[in-house]
């Protein structure tokens, strides 16, 4: 898979009464890691939004395997599992400080116009993103493994 690794320091404010990272913080960690992945591929949500397109999460799935506590540092592995011109399925694996799998999840995002909320085709509005995402999906299906750090 073509993936990125993002390190996140847990913060005290993210814990619940038991000292465990509160479950509602994981979608934020997914977003931080997804934004980092997109940046490492060479793209920017800001540029997309500046052109009048937004990309909301339309589906979220989280599986909690073991607790993460403050002040652990975690690593989030992120990749595009499935891509079409209308939506992207991102997968996540969160590893605790000793490298054990703690959480898995996924999000589906759809690109829409900010002014009317109608879906757009990525290949028409952002052909560079489309080309790279097609390449990522193709390489993933071929079984290639590569950590993206600064472009493909």
Catalytic residues: 16
Distance CA 38, CA 45 (A): 8
Spatial contact of 103 and 76, defined as CB atoms under 8 Å apart = no
Count CB neighbours of 88 within 10 A. 23
Could you tell me the CA-to-CA distances from 30 to 22, 42, 114, 147 in Å, in that order?
14, 18, 22, 17
Distance CA 37, CA 5 (A): 8
Q: What's the full length of the chain, in residues?
A: 152
């Amino acid at each position: 898979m073509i993936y990125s690794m993002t390190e996140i320091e847990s913060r005290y404010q993210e814990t619940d009464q038991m000292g465990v990272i509160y479950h509602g913080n994981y979608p934020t960690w997914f977003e931080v890691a997804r934004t980092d992945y997109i940046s490492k591929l060479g793209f920017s949500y800001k540029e997309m939004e500046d052109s009048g397109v937004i990309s909301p999460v339309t589906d979220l799935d989280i599986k909690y395997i073991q607790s993460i506590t403050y002040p652990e540092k975690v690593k989030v592995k992120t990749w595009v599992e499935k891509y079409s011109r209308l939506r992207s399925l991102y997968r996540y694996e969160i590893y605790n400080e000793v490298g054990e799998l703690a959480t898995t999840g996924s999000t589906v995002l759809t690109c829409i116009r900010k002014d009317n909320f109608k879906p757009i085709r990525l290949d028409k509005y952002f052909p560079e993103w489309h080309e790279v995402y097609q390449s990522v999906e193709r390489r993933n299906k071929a079984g290639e493994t590569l950590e993206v750090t600064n472009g493909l």
